[in-house]
Amino acid sequence: MEKSARRISAAPLLLLFLLCSLHSAFAGHDYGQALSKSILFFEAQRSGFLPHNQRVTWRSNSGLNDGKASGVDLVGGYYDAGDNVKFGLPMAFTVTMMSWSIIEYGKQMAASGELHNAMEAIKWGTDYFIKAHPEPNVLYGEVGDGNTDHYCWQRPEDMTTDRRAYRIDPSNPGSDLAGETAAAMAAASIVFRHSNPAYSRELLNHAYQLFDFADKYRGKYDSSITVAQKYYRSVSGYNDELLWAAAWLYQASNNQYYLNYLAANGDALGGTGVFQRYQQKAEYFMCGCVGKGSRNIQKTPGGLIFRQRWNNLQFVTSASFLATVYSDYLSSARKSLQCSAGNVSPSELFSFAKSQVDYILGDNLRATSYMVGGYATWFSKKSSDPNLLTGAIVGGPDAYDNFADHRDNYEQTEPATYNNAPLLGILARLGGGHGGYNQLLPGNDMKK
């Protein structure tokens, strides 16, 4: 899936995807403060009626008639980046990754005082998904049109552009969109399992229905919602999202059906039908991250992993989160990576992840923080704009660590929700340490 050249990391399966490489770490950042700012960014991206406890006070209500012309309430949700369109696919991926961050590192977030804010950020998305899924086989996947929206530079509070709602259904399927949304709902159901059991069950029921819809009526969502093709087109198809959704449904429900689905459909849907090979793929990726694989990941002279000029940091934050989680899994299992160029300890893998986050926060050749409102010079720090988008992670530097601080250079300067979402987990881990498997959100035996 891709937003023009801006590719959303729509992760297929646990712990395999994206890109990375090793860089020595620096110390001295306040990761707790960075976590607080990263979560605050999501409040600035809110659409709909803003609550009384809204902390980003320069934002106001917006999109209050969304869905009205279609006879459905689609008020709420998130704007994905610097425009005013509500794209369902990146929103779902964002919610999935925020939920995974809490599932892994909720204890650390609680210790820092940010767990409630992180859960509220997830709920803002899932409340919208409930509205967008009014029937078992209907899902609204976009509100607004990127073509008209991008011709007009307006605040969301003042927008006059088309707010048409676009949906998928059995006649116009979208397995990737429905699958990613199922994953988001399933992952979020784990987050709310103890604090709000009724809401958790509601989310899981939506996840069941969305997965069934995605699996039964197969097709790429951008063939049905064609206006999305220019922004988040379905490059890799829908197979990865079906597997991703099944994995999260198994995690959320402990229902053997979804584990069997993964085993039976892995080869056919682009994964692997043997679970040991999932681990092999994950470890091949991790070895490439630390420069000890048979095919290592490109990095900039300053040590940042690099895939593409347009919003490269989305890959960096996701890869760093995955490396962090996997390093903790290895540590708990008292194992190391067996790479082609030598063994990699869990601490070495974690050091790689830390180096990437430290680069984002300012330990780079430009001494520039790519988090707005960070600790060094940051994007548009000298601007006279009255409002600060605190916590936003911008697109980032090019392959040579260069960064042009110009408003029209959207490939490098535009932030996005899916840049920030994976960062929540690793910032919590960096600030709070590793205390073994997260017991804040233990499993249960909810069945379909």
Please identify every residue annotated as catalytic: 405, 414
Instruction: Give 88: exposed, middle or buried? Use CB within 10 Å, 0-12, 13-18, 19+.
Output: buried
State the amino acid at position 8 in one-letter form: I
What's the rounded Cα separation, in Å, for the pair 122 and 330? 28
Q: Give me 295's structure tokens.
A: 């095919």
d(CA 391, CA 36): 8
Given CA atoms 76, 77, 78, 84 in this order, what sign does their dihedral have?
negative
Torsion of CA 365, 4, 317, 371, to 10 degrees: 60
Instruction: Look at the chain and count its residues.
Output: 448
Dihedral class, residue 63 (left if φ above 0, else alpha if ψ from -120 to 50, else beta): left
Hey, is 341 helix, strand or coil?
A: coil
Q: Is 396 left (phi over 0), alpha (psi -120 to 50) or beta?
A: left
**Rounded to an integer, what distance in angstroms lies between the CA atom of residue 259 and that of residue 193?**
21
CA–centroid distance for 129 within its chain: 15
Element (H, E) at 193: none
Q: What count of Cα atoms within 13 Å lies in the side-chain half-sphere of residue 332?
A: 12
The token pair that represents 78 in the structure block: 């998130």
Closest residue by Cα to residue 403 from 354, 355, 352, 367: 367
The one-character DSSP state at 228 is G
Query: Chain centroid to CA 410: how far?
Result: 20
In angstroms, the CA 87 to CA 77 distance is 9
Three-class HEC string of 206-241: HHHHHHHHHHHCCCCHHHHCHHHCCCCECCCCCHHH
For residue 330, the surrounding DSSP H or E stretch is helix 313-333
Q: What is the C-alpha separation between 235 and 220, in angstroms, rounded?
A: 9
Cα separation, 218 vs 234, whole angstroms:
13
Q: How many CB atoms are closer than 10 A to CB 433?
A: 11
